[in-house]
A = this chain, B = another copy of it.
Amino acid sequence: MAGTYSHTIGPRDIDSTRRARIAALGDIVLGAANDDADSLGFGVSDLNLGNASWVLSRLALEARRLPERGERIDIYTWVSDYGRVMTTRNMTLSSEPGSGGEPGDTQGVWGAAVTQWAMIDLDTRRPLDLSALSNKGTSLVDREPPIERPRKVTPLPDECFGERTVLYSDIDFNGHVGSMRYVEWMMDLMQAEWLRGAAEGFRLDINYLHEATLGETLTIARADQTRFEIRNATGVAICRARFVTGETGNRR
């Protein structure tokens, strides 16, 4: 089974150019994942009965442009595979004809994402065996990911570009820093010129390696302008990301 979820780009999603911020686009994509898991009966609200929750492990997000204020985007999403501890959920992003979508796009698709999720026990914070999920068989769709799966991002040199203390507004429903909050922190270190370029097309690969929780002090390392590593106070990498702009070569 696959589903389509819509979102209209509103004031909270956009920057001063009135196009979606990359982190907001990510939030919209993760919201659709959440809604679809709910409708399949193993969303966070179902899982919590067993005190478990999905956590994002890796994400690849590509777009040939950033959608505009007022543009309605449709997120088509499906689960393509389950491993023992990881499942892969895919998305394509398109726009309604006439709402800002580019007519030359194949069926209006201008973006795509591949997400990999683990399920953790909320007490032990350890991954669970996905074979315990009873209804996963019916949810699988035999359709390849629309773009290259999330790449592994390699460790960065030991250089610090910024520091953040984890505060209330950074924490999500899983009790750790929200996936897109890290992306916001990275975007805050980008040059205006890079941000302008990203509006014409980008790819993001992000790996979530460990959790960060309230009160922790994190450091942000950056290399080559567009590779990031966020570390906790003991130097452990919390997440790593790599951004590329320009022709992303989306497969569709």
**Out of B18, B45, B169, B180, which one reaches A173, CB within 8 Å?**
B18
Shortest A150–chain B CB gap in Å is 19
Q: Are A168 and B30 in contact (CB under 8 A)?
A: no
Inter-chain CA distance A31–B9, complex, in Å, is: 10
Inter-chain CA distance A178–B172, complex, in Å, is: 20
Contact with B along A178-190 (1 / 0, CB 8 A): 1010001101101
A70 close to B (CB within 8 Å): yes
Inter-chain CA distance A12–B31, complex, in Å, is: 7
Q: Interface residue tally of chain A, by bracket?
A: 35 or more
Inter-chain CA distance A23–B171, complex, in Å, is: 13
Contacts A38-B70, A167-B188 given; does A14 touch B45 at CB 8 Å: no
A174 close to B (CB within 8 Å): yes
Q: Are B180 and A168 in contact (CB under 8 A)?
A: no
Q: Are B70 and A15 in contact (CB under 8 A)?
A: no
Inter-chain CA distance A11–B229, complex, in Å, is: 24
**Inter-chain contacts of A44 with B (CB < 8 A):** 11, 69
Q: Are A30 and B11 in contact (CB under 8 A)?
A: yes
Q: Are B11 and A172 in contact (CB under 8 A)?
A: yes
Q: Are B27 and A12 in contact (CB under 8 A)?
A: yes
* Interface residues in chain A, defined as those with a beta carbon under 8 Å from any beta carbon in chain B: 8, 10-12, 14-16, 18, 21, 23, 27, 30-31, 34-35, 38, 44-45, 69-70, 167-169, 171-175, 178, 180, 184-185, 187-188, 190, 195
22 A-B pairs with C-beta separation under 8 A: A10-B34, A10-B35, A11-B27, A11-B34, A11-B44, A11-B173, A12-B30, A12-B172, A12-B180, A15-B173, A16-B171, A16-B172, A21-B169, A38-B70, A45-B69, A45-B70, A167-B188, A168-B188, A169-B184, A169-B185, A169-B187, A169-B188
